[in-house]
Amino acid sequence: MKFMNWPVPALLAWASSWLLFKGLVSSGLSETIALVVAAFWGGFLSKWVYTPMRKALILLGFPLSMLASSSTLSMPPLGWLALLGLIVLVYPRKAWGDAPLFPTPKKALRELPGHIALPAGARILDAGSGLGDGLLALRDAYPRADLNGIEMSWPLRILSALRCGFARIRQGDIWLADWRSYDLVYLFQRPESMPRAVEKAQAELRRGAWLVSLEFEARELIPSAVIYGRDGRPVWLYQLPFKRRD
């Protein structure tokens, strides 16, 4: 499943857990035992995805769906349809190839200035700014920078603009946006997105500009530096021109 685009692995894991649960109950097994077995099956499938957050989503998805469908939390069909519509609105289909809502920890980028010295007014882009957590962390690191964000989801763009009045945030596709004017592009995407990010940065960023990725490495490149946040997650720093691995 690790080779499938997210959220397909999660949907397959949840569906197979439900089928297993229904099959066990139909065979005469008690609902409690069937629930435990199906939940363990979801936990087994979660090992095939990359990140702890995705593992947790796969592991918890089936039990939570069972809870939501219980008699005490029954929801009419229109309610489920409205919920699905809300999910698609916040996380549009076109953005499924990018990262879901992974917030950047508040102090995750505080050590950046020790490795990347940027002048006042330097232009920084948070590519996929979500609810604005990355922009808040970037302001903590570079309070005098010109901070910008791009977010595909317009509800998230509005909410992040309310949180980050210090930044310019626009709705758009990070892969179609022009990166040429930026001194640093920050990403907290997903492992599958990194080759595309490297290709775009190579084509558009000027010499001396930086590509910074929280947690996920550009495996084809030699990093200029790697720093670690308080939670132990790495921040990968790459400066143009990139140094490629043999």
138 pLDDT band (50/70/90 cuts)?
Answer: very high
Q: Is 77 or 149 the better-scoring residue by pLDDT?
A: 149
Rounded to an integer, the average pLDDT of 56-71 is 66
CB count in 10 Å sphere of residue 194: 20
90 pLDDT band (50/70/90 cuts)?
Answer: very low
The mean pLDDT value of the chain amounts to 82
Does the pLDDT value for residue 198 go beyond 50? yes
Structure confidence at residue 1 (pLDDT):
47
Rounded to an integer, the average pLDDT of 158-163 is 90
Strand pairing partners for 212?
A: 186, 237
Rg of the Cα atoms in the chain: 21
Residue for token pair 């089928």: 19
The structural domains of the chain, ordered by start, are: 8-74 (no CATH), 112-244 (3.40.50.150)
Does the pLDDT value for residue 180 go beyond 70? yes
Lowest mean pLDDT across 127-131, 177-181, 235-239: 127-131
Instruction: Quote the strand ranges of the chain, DSSP E.
Output: 123-127, 146-151, 168-171, 184-187, 210-214, 221-222, 225-228, 234-239, 243-244
Structure confidence at residue 111 (pLDDT):
94
Would you state the structure tokens that stand for residue 213, as one six-digit string?
């990725």
What percentage of the chain exceeds 70 in pLDDT?
73
Does the pLDDT value for residue 158 go beyond 80? yes
Structure confidence at residue 149 (pLDDT):
97
